[in-house]
A and B are shown apart, each in its own frame.
Chain A
Amino acid sequence: MASSTRGCRMAAPDMAARRTTVASGLASKLARLLRDPFTVAGLTIYAVLIIVAVFADLLMTHDPGEILFRANGRVAANQPPSAAYLLGTTNLGRDVYSQLIGGSRIALVVGFTAAICVAAFGTLIGLLAGYFGGKLDAILMRLADLALAIPFLPFAIVLAGFSRSSTTNVIVAVVLLLWPNTARVIRAQVLTVKERAYVEAARVTGASDARILFVHVAPNILPLTFLYGSVAIGWAILTEAAVSFVGFGDAKNISWGYMLQDAFVSQALSRGSWHWFVPPGLCIILVVIAGFFIARGAEDVLFPKLRS
């Protein structure tokens, strides 16, 4: 048993010596990640999303909120896709394509802000609960149970409805509800890392709790934080879409979810205006799937033993 682990450890001299530690570990993991076609697909979707959101102003052909008129002075409502309106128009004469491009910005802001907050908050709580244990652990984990027990969508709607409907509130709702998943997994990982001899070595050589936690424990669970963060992006975008779809979104920001709601309320489905509701739906699906693809690939790299 002992001899086999020893064998494995020693049989890895091919890794080139590198100076920075965390970065090099991540770099080698990233290299392996990039060999997985699913991960590459997921990362590509995210990359496209970011590029589109950043250059949205250049890509949009119209103002998403502007009511467009035809040459004859009538509202350009319910236009099919054409050179002037790439994805047609809505029943109020707004350009679908420009709304879709503008929606990527909201998706990006909501998705990434929420994901970063979820990952940061969840990781911190998980670290503290796992490392210190005892009463602190008990309190934090009961809070996590409580948050997990709250049904997701109703809570988001209530929160968005009680305060003003704003994108910020959607983000807050996502963070409040998603941190426990991350915190629990991080905590479990901290519990194992904490038992490693090198953590005890840090203690016996005089390291403070903060130093042990952030220098010796945290870097070894950082990959998990990334994993959960990437899943949270999809969840946050999905939640924003759902909240907007049921009509509690921020009316000033035309998101993909808002577009779906607009299309639904205007009976675009029954009129067969696929050019209106398919693109935002597809975008939501793609971005959420991208999160899971990346998570899937990351899981392979982080926990290779799960798959033979």
Chain B
Amino acid sequence: MTAAQTSAHPLVAASGLTKRFAAPRSLSDMFSGHQPHVHAVDGIDLRIARGESVGLLGESGCGKTTTGRLLLKLTEPSAGSIAFDGVAIDTLKGNALTAFRKRAQLVFQNPFDALNPRFTIERVLAEPLVNTGVERASHSDKVEKALAQVRLPPLSRFEGLFPHQLSGGQLQRIVLARALVLEPDFIVADEPVSMLDVSVRAGVLNVMREVRATLGLAALYISHDLALVRYVCSTTLVMYLGKIVEQGPTADLLKTPLHPYTRALVNAVPVPRVDQSHEPLPIIGNVSDARGQPRGCRFRERCPMAVARCAEEEPPLRDCGQGRRVACHLA
């Protein structure tokens, strides 16, 4: 790949990305031969530039984790395409796939489950290098470098230790170091601190922010936590039932949300201060079912502002200046 090419396109570009899962069939489905589907991700477009940090915000079941897995080729899309550094990843095999794996890494949500319990810390960290065929002589240097990047002591301090002997905060740094040891260009972090205690969480977040900045990593942070997204992401996408409903610079998006769903999310987060709004949320009921979506806006049943048009046509994600886009007829 030449330098001219690399600057021409974003690092990650997905268009029309769709992932359907077969839903359980009812009795009548079985007779009619109909197979219902759940659209976990429904035709989303996404671009992440080199060194950019993007937040993917949404509630459980909105398709944010599936999106992350699609971008890393851990699951195959039902439709749409993903290009990584200008190359379509759907047909990657063999060495090309290994080369992609080296450049795109994942940071897991649950550090207590993300490390093989039978591997020593040393082996955990060297494993990616073994898998991708990096020459053995350079392993210890690369592992030490990754440990230093996540502000952990050198490997000698973990001599013979197994994952269960470390605390949650240390484990999550190990998980991050494992991703960094391959010197990737892109990382997906799926709820990277939600399993950690607050006092430890801040340390891990700071390390992630620092690493991203110094290494110029592009990152997708998947989270339900607005404060996390605010803290680490320059751009944020808000997902609702498989669709992106709003995107824009994080600070603006959270300060003046355009989509009623984003507004409800922002208002819903309690802040650690005694003086805060106790106004009721501008939202109705619960998340509806992603299965068999009717026409129109997906949010309309919960939207306090919905009008007749919202039931008729689905709002497209349209540009509204200053890098912001929103999918709402009324915004």
In the bound complex, residues from chain A placing their C-beta under 8 Å from that of B74 are: 200, 203-204
Q: How far is the CA of A25 from the CA of B163 in the complex (A)?
A: 13
Residues of A within 8 A of B105 (CB): 204-205
Which of A2-10, A134-142, A151-159 forms contacts with chain B?
A: A2-10
Q: Which single member of B118, B131, B159, B160 contacts A205 (CB below 8 Å)?
A: B131
Pair B159/A21 contact, Cβ less than 8 Å: no
Which chain A residues numbered 190 to 234 have a C-beta less than 8 Å away from chain B? 196-198, 200-208, 211, 216, 219-220
Residues of chain A lying within 8 A (CB to CB) of residue B9: none
**A6-B168, A9-B164 as given contacts; A207 in contact with B112, CB under 8 Å:** no
Question: Using an 8 Å CB-CB cutoff, how does the interface string of B94-133 with A read, 1 for contact, 0 for none?
Answer: 0001100110111011101111111110010001100110
Q: Which of A12-20, A53-61, A116-124, A248-256 contacts B (4 or more CB under 8 A)?
A: A12-20
Q: What residues of A have a CB within 8 angstroms of the CB of B160 in the complex?
A: 17-19
Looking at chain A's contact residues, the main secondary structure is helix
Q: Is B167 an interface residue (CB 8 A)?
A: yes
Assess whether A149 is interfacial by the CB under 8 Å rule: no
Measured CB to CB, the nearest residue on chain B to A16 is B160
Secondary structure class of chain B's binding surface, majority of residues? loop
Tell whether A21 pairs with B112 under 8 Å between CB atoms, given A200-B74, A204-B105: no
Given contacts A6-B112, A206-B128, contact A17 B178 (CB under 8 A): no
Which residues of B in the span 157-200 have a Cβ within 8 Å of any Cβ on A? 159-162, 164-165, 167-168, 175, 178-179, 182, 195
* CB–CB B101/A13 < 8 A: no
Interface flags, B117-160, vs A, CB<8A=1, else 0: 11110010001100110000000000000000000000000011
Which residue, A10, A17, A205, A207, has most C-beta atoms of chain B within 10 A? A205
B164 touching A196 by the CB < 8 A rule? no
Which of A2, A9, A202, A220 has the most chain B CB atoms closer than 10 A to its own CB?
A9
A198 with B113: CB separation less than 8 A? yes
Question: With A10-B168, A18-B160, A211-B131 known to touch, is A204 a contact of B101 (CB < 8 Å)?
Answer: yes
State in angstroms the CA–CA spacing of A196 and B111 once bound together.
Answer: 11
Is B120 touching A19 in the complex (CB atoms < 8 A)? yes
Q: Would A2 and B116 count as touching, CB distance under 8 A?
A: no
Q: Is A71 engaged at the interface, CB distance under 8 Å to the other chain?
A: no
Q: B118 is contacted by which of A2, A6, A21 (Cβ under 8 Å)? A: A21
Measured in the bound complex, the distance between the Cα atoms of B179 and A12 in whole Å is 26
What's the Cα separation between A206 and B104 when bound, in Å? 10
Report yes or no: B106 in contact with A207, Cβ–Cβ below 8 A.
no
Residue A202 contacts which of B110, B118, B131, B162 (CB distance < 8 angstroms)?
A: B131
Q: A197-B110, A204-B101, A205-B131 are in contact. Are A25 and B161 (CB under 8 A)?
A: no
- Chain B contacts of A202 at CB under 8 A? 116, 127, 131
Residue in A25, A197, A204 with the greatest tally of chain B CB atoms within 10 Å: A204
| Size range of the chain A interface in the assembly | 20 to 34
Q: Chain A residues near B97: list those with CB within 8 A.
A: 206
Q: Which residues of B contact A216 (CB under 8 A)?
A: 116
Rounded to whole angstroms, the CA-CA distance of A9 and B160 in the bound complex is 17
Cβ of B72 within 8 Å of any chain A Cβ, yes or no, is yes
Docked complex Cα distance between A208 and B257 (Å): 44
A17 and B106 contact, CB distance less than 8 A: no
Which residue in B104, B106, B118 is a CB contact (below 8 Å) of A201?
Answer: B106
State whether B165 touches A15 (Cβ < 8 A): yes
Residues from chain B with a CB closer than 8 A to the CB of A203 are 74
Asked if A197 and B98 sit within 8 Å, CB to CB, the answer is: no
Per-residue contact bits, chain A 165-205, to B (CB 8 Å; 1 contact, 0 not): 00000000000000000000000000000001110111111
Contact (Cβ within 8 A) B118 A220: yes
Given A17-B161, A21-B123, A197-B108, decide whether A206 and B101 contact each other with a Cβ distance below 8 A: yes
| CB of A22 within 8 Å of the partner chain | yes
Q: Closest B residue to A19 by CB, please name it.
A: B160
Evaluate contact between A206 and B98: CB separation under 8 angstroms.
yes
Of A5, A18, A19, A201, the contact of B108 (CB 8 Å cutoff):
A201
Q: Name the CB-closest residue of A to B128.
A: A205
B213-244, CB under 8 A of A: which get 1 and which 0? 00000000000000000000000000000000
Closest-by-CB residue of A relative to B195 is A2
Contacts of A200 in B (CB 8 A): 74, 106, 108
Which residues of B lie under 8 Å from residue A207 when comparing CB positions? 127, 131
Alpha-carbon distance A294/B81, docked complex (angstroms): 54
**Interfacial chain A residues near B116, Cβ < 8 Å:** 198, 201-202, 216
A216 to B113, CA, bound (A): 13
**Which chain B residues lie closer than 8 Å to A22 at the CB level?**
118
Within 8 A of B (CB), among A1-58: 2, 5-6, 9-10, 12-13, 15, 17-19, 21-22, 25
Chain B residue with the shortest CB-CB distance to A25: B118
The answer to whether A21 and B106 touch across the interface, beta carbons within 8 angstroms, is no
9 A-B pairs whose Cβ atoms sit less than 8 Å apart in the complex: A12-B164, A15-B162, A197-B108, A197-B110, A198-B115, A201-B106, A204-B72, A205-B127, A206-B128
Shortest beta-carbon contacts, A-B, top 4: A205-B128, A17-B160, A206-B101, A206-B131
